[in-house]
């Protein structure tokens, strides 16, 4: 496949700009083509990036100069586009989530196994210095044996700033499926896979109101729980508490904390790549900041694609893997089922805890 993994991007929405800003600066990858249902949008992006051509989606999937399809379509199309790319013999890297359902996600991974290609999936924020430095300190015994963790994402909802927020509140949306992948991927990276969950949900408002843009003042229905709490039992015995909400106006909660037999670890926002990592040890009377010691420095979205390319070249496992994304999707679906039934749910899937990273430039 040549020295660099040739990447074709399908779906030129808002998130594509972040990938296109990062990928040209990463070793081992090269964007060769872009495609979108709005062809004019693809043409505009191609014209702004040297060596990149615009194509129709079907043409890109079949193109000889594309080794990996970066799937940035809407979540409802993730599985369909991934399966088409795999059928064409391409590796795939999906934006989160891997698919709308665990069953569809499993279809994608099974197809990739049969075709001998790889599947990666966002978020790759866990490859930044924030989560990786915390992971390194955790693995070094900095807080003793991990006992528990907390993960909180609370906000009043995206309708205050997003001009078309309805999709956040439709089936497949909500705070858990929208933001949960960042937090759960970080928890699995830090503590390993989950074996059991329980949960509760609330939907205090049947409608929401668009707060900005041309549709400001328009009401729309809410189809999903907007406040989700969960308890997660990891395979290593640690217990995590998860809170994802679009119903909180203000809070002073941490993003992620891990608690061990010897101390506590404060982990930065997993929706970003960096941020301060802080450690409290029983022998120290105060929190101390830990210097960045692992992960991609100054990282951006697309580092997971470069990690996948390096893994293909080196013949080892990539970190932002389809198996990890499938497990996270399974955990989220299981948590929502547990909330409906009132019973704990066993997680049928599992995944390897991703390998740690050394400190490296993005």
Domain presence at residue 302:
no
Mark whether 20 and 146 lie in a shared domain: no
The encoded tokens of residue 229 equal 């709490």
Q: What separation in angstroms does the CA of 175 have from each of 92, 172, 197, 209, 267? A: 26, 10, 17, 17, 20
Mark whether 107 and 211 lie in a shared domain: no
Mark whether 151 and 244 lie in a shared domain: yes
Mark whether 55 and 136 lie in a shared domain: no
Label each residue of 109-126 as H, E or C.
Answer: HHHHHHHCCCEEECCCHH
Domain presence at residue 355:
no
pTM to 2 decimals?
0.96
Mark whether 220 and 277 lie in a shared domain: yes
Tell me the average pLDDT across 224-233. 98
Beta strands 146-154 and 239-245 are parallel
For residue range 175-195, list pLDDT tens digits in order: 999 999 999 999 999 999 999
**Residue entry with tokens 């997971």:** 304
Q: What separation in angstroms does the CA of 276 have from each of 10, 11, 145, 181, 300? A: 34, 33, 22, 21, 17
Mark whether 212 and 276 lie in a shared domain: yes
The predicted structure's pLDDT at residue 115: 98
Tell me the average pLDDT across 80-92. 98
Domain end marker among 121, 139, 164: 121
For residue range 274-330, list pLDDT tens digits in order: 999 999 999 987 999 999 999 999 999 999 999 999 999 999 999 999 999 999 999
Domain presence at residue 361:
no
Domain presence at residue 356:
no
The predicted structure's pLDDT at residue 284: 87
Tell me the average pLDDT across 142-160. 97
Tell me the average pLDDT across 163-169. 91
Mark whether 178 and 255 lie in a shared domain: yes
Mark whether 145 and 174 lie in a shared domain: yes
Query: Cα(257)–Cα(322) distance, rounded to whole angstroms?
Result: 26
Domain end marker among 106, 121, 136: 121
Domain end marker among 78, 101, 121: 121
What residue numbers bound the domain in which 104 lies?
A: 5-121
The encoded tokens of residue 282 equal 């029983």
Domain presence at residue 319:
no
Whether 95 has a pLDDT exceeding 50, the answer reads yes
If pLDDT is split at 50, 70 and 90, which confidence band does 362 have?
Answer: low
Domain presence at residue 96:
yes
If pLDDT is split at 50, 70 and 90, which confidence band does 135 have?
Answer: very high
Query: Cα(35)–Cα(42) distance, rounded to whole angstroms?
Result: 5
For residue range 117-127, list pLDDT tens digits in order: 999 999 999 99
Whether 339 has a pLDDT exceeding 70, the answer reads yes
The predicted structure's pLDDT at residue 14: 85
Q: What three-state secondary structure class fits 77? A: helix
Mark whether 280 and 145 lie in a shared domain: yes
If pLDDT is split at 50, 70 and 90, which confidence band does 1 have?
Answer: very low
Question: Domain tally for the chain?
Answer: 2
The encoded tokens of residue 68 equal 């990996």
Mark whether 63 and 21 lie in a shared domain: yes
If pLDDT is split at 50, 70 and 90, which confidence band does 101 have?
Answer: very high
Mark whether 144 and 184 lie in a shared domain: yes
Domain presence at residue 145:
yes
Q: Nearest Cα to 329, choosing from 32, 122, 125, 45?
A: 122
Mark whether 275 and 198 lie in a shared domain: yes
Question: Across the chain, what does the average pLDDT equal?
Answer: 96
The encoded tokens of residue 269 equal 């926002």
Whether 23 has a pLDDT exceeding 90, the answer reads yes
If pLDDT is split at 50, 70 and 90, which confidence band does 156 have?
Answer: very high
Domain presence at residue 140:
yes
| CATH number of the domain within which 76 lies | 3.40.50.720
Cβ-contact 304, 311 below 8 angstroms: no
| CATH number of the domain within which 259 lies | 3.30.360.10
- How many other CB atoms are there within 10 angstroms of residue 241's CB atom? 14
The predicted structure's pLDDT at residue 153: 98
């Amino acid at each position: 496949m040549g020295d660099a993994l040739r990447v074709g991007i399908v779906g030129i929405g808002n998130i594509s700009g972040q990938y296109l800003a990062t990928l040209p600066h990463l070793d081992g990858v090269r964007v060769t083509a872009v495609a979108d249902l709005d062809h004019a949008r693809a043409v505009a992006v191609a014209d702004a990036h040297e060596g990149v051509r615009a194509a129709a989606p079907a043409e890109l999937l079949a193109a000889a100069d594309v080794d990996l399809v970066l799937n940035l379509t809407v979540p409802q199309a993730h599985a369909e586009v991934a399966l088409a790319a795999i059928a064409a013999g391409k590796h795939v890297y999906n934006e989160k989530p891997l698919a709308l359902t665990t069953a569809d996600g499993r279809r994608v991974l099974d197809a990739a196994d049969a075709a001998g290609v790889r599947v990666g999936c966002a978020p790759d924020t866990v490859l930044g210095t924030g989560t990786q430095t915390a992971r390194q300190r955790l693995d070094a015994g900095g807080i003793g044996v991990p006992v528990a963790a907390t993960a909180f994402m609370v906000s009043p909802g995206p309708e205050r700033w997003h001009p078309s927020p309805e999709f956040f509140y439709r089936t497949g949306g909500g705070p858990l499926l929208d933001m949960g992948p960042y937090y759960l991927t970080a928890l699995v990276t830090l503590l390993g896979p989950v074996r059991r969950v329980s949960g509760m949900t609330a939907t205090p408002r049947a409608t929401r109101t668009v707060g900005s843009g041309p549709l400001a003042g328009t009401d729309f229905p809410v189809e999903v729980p907007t406040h989700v709490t969960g308890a997660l039992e990891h395979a290593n015995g640690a217990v995590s508490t998860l809170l994802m909400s679009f119903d909180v106006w203000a809070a002073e909660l941490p993003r992620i904390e891990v608690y061990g037999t010897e101390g506590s670890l404060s982990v930065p926002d997993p929706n970003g790549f960096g941020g301060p990592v802080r450690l409290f040890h029983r022998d120290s009377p105060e929190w101390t900041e830990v210097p960045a010691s692992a992960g991609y420095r100054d990282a951006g979205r697309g580092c997971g694609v470069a990690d996948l390319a390096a893994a293909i070249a080196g013949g080892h496992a990539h970190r932002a893997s389809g198996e990890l994304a499938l497990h996270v999707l399974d955990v989220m679906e299981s948590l929502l089922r547990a909330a409906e039934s009132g019973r704990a749910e066993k997680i049928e899937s599992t995944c390897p805890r991703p390998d740690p990273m050394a400190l490296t430039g993005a």
